[in-house]
Structure 1
Amino acid sequence: LPCTHTGTGRCFMTSQNHGFAVDSKHLPENWKDLFINENDKTNEGIIHERLPYFSVQFHPEHTAGPTDLEFLFDIFVSAIKSHKSSNTYDISAKIVKTLEYKTTMSERPKKVLILGSGGLSIGQAGEFDYSGSQAVKAMQEEKILTVLINPNIATVQTSKGLADKVYFLPITPHYVEQVIKAERPTGVLLTFGGQTALNCGVQLKRAGIFEKYNVSVLGTPIQSIIDTEDRKIFAEKVHAIGEKVAPSAAVSSVEEAVVAAEQIGYPVMARAAFSLGGLGSGFANNEDELRALAHQALSHSDQLIIDKSLKGWKEVEYEVVRDAYDNCITVCNMENVDPLGIHTGESIVVAPSQTLSNREYYMLRNTAIKVIRHFGVVGECNIQYALNPYSEEFFIIEVNARLSRSSALASKATGYPLAYVAAKLALQIPLPKIKNSVTGVTTACFEPSLDYCVVKIPRWDLAKFTRVSTKIGSSMKSVGEVMGIGRNFEEAIQKAFRMVDENVYGFDPNIKSADENELREPTDKRMFVLAAALKDGYPVERLYELTKIDKWFLDKFKNIIDHYNILEHKGIISAETLKNAKQVGFSDKQIAAAIKSTEIAVRKQRQENNITPFVKQIDTVAAEWPASTNYLYLTYNGTSHDIDFVKGFTMVLGSGVYRIGSSVEFDWCAVGCLRELRNQGRKTIMINYNPETVSTDYDMSDRLYFEEISFEVVMDIYNLEQPDGVILS
């Protein structure tokens, strides 16, 4: 829980298990509050004004929680040593000195320029429409005028009624300067428009445009952005705080790349700096492969990074938030199901992490906070790690000092509005003073607790292109992504497989046949090859050797296939077998295919046996606090509904996953529909499963179901909610 030090106002995460608090209104003379609970303002620690006595009501050192206030033990020990040597020791002053952080206050802007991300491209899609829209909302709440530059007409953020002014112009230094000249904003936000906005901002800074027109960069300082983007400076800065990046070298020619690779040792990974979605990157096992890669990468950037290959290591990422007063939290940690070697945008990602030990989790969390403080990030930041599966050795892969696709996923996975909070922090509002907009009563300075599991799967449309390799790796090819929510990993991932492609029934072993080469060299269909291999009896050990996917995940996949085998052998199934299958994420259609029946027959049997899903809330605090959230999902691993069902809603179906030919423009349609229904005084239900969208923002509708858009699920929701009508188009 968040505890605030009364002397400095700094807020820290603490481990707690108590149900009572000291009544600070009736403290004896000379005693005062030391820490208070930021949520309910109850006492969390007391200190004597003169004598060296103090106490806290949390665990500063706890091995099952944050150790952010461990230094209190050092002060306690120092006080004892000082007393033994008959010296005076002012505990209160020492704590204040340790926690004090001086920030440079700047004047609050009256008009802010927001740079959008421009046209959609692979690696940069609708997530920046979501983050930009949140930034505009945050500015409007603070009564600040907003000017948006974004030439993408198919976005919600450029719609009438959001930003005060919208310029449909290219996001290039020349055009942005013209807008600055005409509008005279006093602040600019660069971190809400992806790599396009960042690169443009860096060019404007170097050209002296911001200084010329007296425009201050809000949030993360521009030098911090350059420090995280320039791989050479980044490595030096990380080494300066005793942390490690993978052995690498920054080069600017093919010959330099060859020399660097010989020093580091093959295999190596080559990637272009300041690039989007791993553009121009790949793995090289020898000099010939490296020369080909380097030629390609240097056409995208004038700096090339040669990294030691860590293929097969675990890839873990954290979303970290820091304010201008050095209050720092980690909002979400995510683990890639695929090992390192596949771009995180191409990977299946699970939140929260499933295979890290508690020690590993807090080791990486502490490093994340240390790094974000060292770089001076104000707002939101994403940090990616490579973790050795056989030891606690880890390397920092990269730090993104901006909103990213991972940020959109983390926001939707936890219910924590990262972009909205980051925009408020850019105005130097302290994190503890921002409200958690999901609960409405607690502070935004907290680390969300998840009592569910979230799985993200990318969508590739490679079949629509000729002569395109289906292999996936360090360069992004996916055009969209989906997010499934469940009470266990199997339920969440099976939902996600169906969301990616409506023609897929789940983790289906009948789509592809087992192929060891495809397991070794990942393709867009590798998961179905894995399903076939499990069906053919491949042991988990062998599959781990081939794929380097953690055995925990492989065991979960095996559990799904075991249920397939049970269904296929039984033919006629009992209510118990049916319920068990539903609890590991099987759809009616999937069960029907396994038992040679029909979806309607399975649905009928399910309803006759009262096997129906329960509606659960995402409340960010795992029911520790009362929350009236409208952010919902269905599960068969429950015993009761979290909400009451009242009639009078209109249901709107979202557009689902982005694909070639169906993208952010349909999200614009869905949001427009929701807004107009609200204007007409109607209550709305939204069903969608795309984490990159504005329509899946919890404040866009009265009830948001983050669920599949299929006959089974929509009918289940329809039967529960009994809406007045459904809008499909």
Structure 2
Amino acid sequence: MYGAYLTKKPRRVLILGSGALQIGQAGEFDYSGSQAIKAFKEERVFTVLVNPNIATLQTSSNMADRTYLVAVLPEFVERIIVNEQIDAILLSFGGQTALNCGLALAESGVLERHGVRVLGTAIDAIRNTEDRRLFVERLDEIGVKTARSVACRTIAEAREAARIIGLPVMLRLGFALGGKGSGIVDTPEQLDEALLRAFDGDSQQVLVEESLRGWKEIEYEVVRDARDNCIAVCNMENMDPMGVHTGDSIVVAPSQTLNDDEYQLLRTTALRAIRHLKIVGECNIQYALHPRTSEYRVIEVNARLSRSSALASKAAGYPLAYVAAKIALGYTLAEIPNFITRRTTAFFEPALDYLVCKVPRWDLSKFQGASVKIGSEMKSVGEVMAIGRSFPEVIQKAVRMLDIGVDGLDSDAFRFEGTCEELETATPFRVFGIAKALACGVSIDEIHAATNIDRWFITAISEVVVMERALRSSRMPLEYVMLRQAKVLGFSDAAI
């Protein structure tokens, strides 16, 4: 038998890429697609890639056996299926574009008509995670909590749902990328404007749900094979609370403010959810967690590799995309080798003794008239990742890599008055505003009240501010103790 649960080895596999680069979908899917091609080539499976983006590794001549530089659209993909005599397709490695294309191919009967089987997570499971109404129904079956919500297909339905739930509400589009069309609305006027915008495009479904603004946002990267073995590879925590898209938030891995009960509760819930949804491969599950009561809500499950998957792979040293591709071929976690130890298998949960921090990179100045306010609709165009032993160290390393003209978390780098009022709105430079407020004597509790950012993060930033003040009042050469402490806190030579 080929693998554990795949009785017939696929002959020619079609891999759907993510298409052109856009906000919310970029290099992370080049990583996942490239790893999938590598895994399939090891099994001597002929790979056909569909991806029009030539600025990727996966479209290099030494990667897929055949590459089509065409848009990832059902009409083009069907022709390729016929021409290449495809007998299997991979949908989970090209982001939202590939998932939507795969769903369209299945619903139109193309896959069944040409005898093409879906490897990894089945179409029904993908539909259950993408359709917001089905998603809530499936998780309700096992008592997993989701935000109180109504899936609507017309503006009238959405208005009625908002009236029943009560303002403020969160609007989310089904089958959407990067939080497109989403937002929190507080007034009836904002609701009408947001609904017109949401239904103006090709959106078929809008979810109206209770607002969880101010709750913590936590993510888990989970892997499941066809024999129902499950592991939680990595968990991550957003510094920014709910209301800011995770792609626009500063993220740390592993989480830093959860106690063990909260961590285990969310981990157990994640494993229960993906087992019930019958995910095969890798998925990302996002939570809202109340900062005081430990109440949680599952926000969404991505039945595919995501931005967070690429971050988790680098953070944990666990090749999520490669492992997911092998699972799609029928291998179990216990049959896939661990490339770190070379002696054990991929059936383990990494334990990190270091901290990883992701900070987004924005270029809003290039978009004329664009608001600098960030929220539930993603605006960043890239991100950097730093590794260290503490949050002060990694946040300072990360902001240096943004190429925005700073040597670290300098409280005077940008123009801020140092007041709480200017911190209430999330912007690309709010972390510098927090440092300025602390330098001006604003208390940690006041900043927490204005931003809903956990006090742990604000306290860590205050350590940088205190050292910055000490360095400004010192003369060179520095005493050894102060120099060492500055380095521990992530200060560069240039900053010192």
TM-score normalized by structure 1? 0.66
Residue 324 of structure 1: how far off its partner (Å): 0.5
Report the equivalent of 2:473.
Answer: 569
Separation in 2, partners of 1:274, 1:106 = 32
Query: Which deviates further from its counterpart, 332-341 or 300-309?
Result: 300-309
Matches within 5 A, 1:201-240: 201-240=102-141
Match of 2:16 in 1: 115
2:352 is matched with: 450
User: Among the aligned pairs, what percent are the same residue?
Assistant: 54
Contact kept in structure 1, 2:222 and 2:271, CA below 8 Å: yes
Q: State the match for 1:540 in structure 2.
A: 444
Deviation of 1:403 (Å): 0.4
2:6 touches 2:329 (CA, 8 Å); kept in 1?
A: no
What is the deviation of 1:221?
0.4
Shift of 1:425: 0.2
C-alpha distance in 1 between matches for 2:366 and 2:113: 48
Query: Using the alignment, how far apart are the partners of 1:551 and 1:492 within structure 2?
Result: 17
Instruction: Output aligned runs, 1:96-115, within 5 Å.
Output: 105-115=6-16
Describe how 1:496-535 pairs up with structure 2 within 5 A: 496-511=398-413, 512-513=415-416, 514-535=418-439
Alpha-carbon offset, residue 415 of structure 1: 0.7
Offset, 1:502: 4.9
CA–CA distance in structure 1, aligned partners of residues 179 and 60 of structure 2: 31
Question: Residue 317 of structure 1 is aligned with which of 212, 219, 224?
Answer: 219
1:147 paired with 2:48, answer: yes
Question: What is the aligned partner in structure 2 of residue 419 from structure 1?
Answer: 321
Q: How does 1:623-634 map to 2 (within 5 A)?
A: none
Q: Which of 262, 278, 281 is residue 376 of structure 1 equivalent to?
A: 278
CA distance in 1, matches of 2:342, 2:454: 39
3-state DSSP class of the match of 2:247?
Answer: coil
| Counterpart among 460, 463, 473 of residue 559 in structure 1 | 463
Q: Distance in 1 between matches of 2:7 and 2:33?
A: 23
Moved over 3 A (4+): 103-106
Residue 194 (str. 1) matches residue 95 (str. 2): yes
* Counterparts of 1:270 and 1:562, CA distance in 2: 41
Residue type at the aligned position of 1:494:
Q
Q: Tell me the TM-score normalised to structure 2 length.
A: 0.97
Q: Map Cα deviations across residues 589-612 of structure 1 (whole Å, 9 max, x no partner).
A: 111xxxxxxxxxxxxxxxxxxxxx
Residue identity matched to 1:258: R
1:228-287 Cα deviation digits (max 9, x unpaired): 000000001011001110011111222221111111111111121111000011111011
Q: Which residue of 244, 265, 270 maps to 1:363?
A: 265
The 8 Å contact of residues 313 and 339 in structure 1, kept in 2 or not, is answered as yes
Q: Distance in 1 between matches of 2:115 and 2:389?
A: 51
Question: Where do residues 642-721 of structure 1 align in structure 2 (5 Å cutoff)?
Answer: none
Residue 387 of structure 2 corresponds to residue 482 of structure 1: no
Give the deviation of 1:485 after TM superposition: 0.2
Paired residue type of 1:589: A
Task: Determine the structure 1 residue equivalent to 2:309.
Answer: 407
1:165 match = 66
Contact persistence 2:179–2:377 (CA under 8 A): yes
Per-residue Cα deviation, 1:185-217 (whole angstroms, up to 9, x for no partner): 211000100011100000000011111111100
In 2, Cα distance between equivalents of 1:211 and 1:438: 40
In structure 1, C-alpha distance between the alignment counterparts of 2:307 and 2:340, rounded to whole Å: 21
Matched residue type, 1:481: E
Confirm whether residue 245 of structure 1 aligns to residue 146 of structure 2. Answer: yes
Amino acid at match of 1:531: A
**Preserved CA contact (<8 Å) 1:272 1:298:** no
Look up the match of 2:495.
Answer: 590
CA apart distance, 1:516: 2.7
Offset at residue 104 of structure 1 (A): 5.8
| Conserved? CA contact 1:251–1:303, under 8 Å | yes
TM-superposed deviation, 1:515: 3.8
Shift of 1:354: 0.3
Matched residue, 2:183: 282
Inter-partner Cα distance in structure 1 for 2:182 and 2:23: 14
Question: How far apart are the structure 1 equivalents of 2:326 and 2:290?
Answer: 37
Q: Which residue of 2 aligns with 1:666?
A: none
State the alpha-carbon separation in 2 of the partners of residues 531 and 441 from structure 1.
46
Q: Distance in 2 between matches of 1:369 and 1:299?
A: 37
The worse-fitting range, judged by mean Cα deviation, of 293-302 and 529-538 is: 293-302
Larger radius of gyration: 1
Q: Which amino acid aligns with 1:551?
A: R
What is the aligned partner in structure 1 of residue 372 from structure 2? 470
C-alpha contact (below 8 Å) 1:188/1:215 kept by paired residues: yes
Query: What is the root-mean-square deviation in Å for CA atoms of aligned residues?
Result: 1.0
Residue pairs, 1:73-88, within 5 angstroms: none
Shift of 1:314: 0.5
Cα offset for 1:465? 2.1
The DSSP-based 3-state class of the residue aligned with 2:231 is strand
**Match for 1:384: what amino acid?**
Q
SS at match of 1:566: helix
Q: SS of 2:288's equivalent?
A: strand
Answer yes or no: is the 8 Å Cα contact 2:420–2:446 preserved in 1. no
Q: Say if 2:5 and 2:331, in contact at 8 Å, map to a contact too.
A: no
Q: 2:157 aligns with which of 256, 260, 284?
A: 256
Determine the C-alpha separation between the residues in 2 that align with 1:216 and 1:528: 51
- Does residue 342 of the first structure (1) align with residue 247 of the second (2)? no
**Aligned residue number for residue 271 of structure 1:** 172
Q: Is the 8 A contact 1:379 1:426 kept in 2?
A: yes
Amino acid at match of 1:171: V
Partner of 1:328: 230
SS of equivalent to 1:454: strand
Contact 2:16 2:94 in 1 (8 A): yes
- 8 Å Cα contact 2:13-2:47 kept in structure 1: yes
2:272 and 2:188 map into 1 onto residues whose CA distance is: 37
What residue in structure 2 maps to residue 63 of structure 1? none
Distance 2:490 2:5 in 1: 52
Distance in 2 of aligned mates of 1:515 and 1:163: 54
Deviation sequence 1:33-54 (CA, Å, 0-9, x none): xxxxxxxxxxxxxxxxxxxxxx
Q: Specify the alignment match of 2:30 in structure 1.
A: 129
The residue identity in structure 2 corresponding to 1:522 is: A
Matched, 1:397 2:302: no
- 1:118 and 1:152 in contact (8 A); partners too: yes
d(CA) in 2 for partners of 1:201, 1:430: 24
Q: Deviations over 1:330-360 (max 9, x none)?
A: 0000000001110110100000000000111
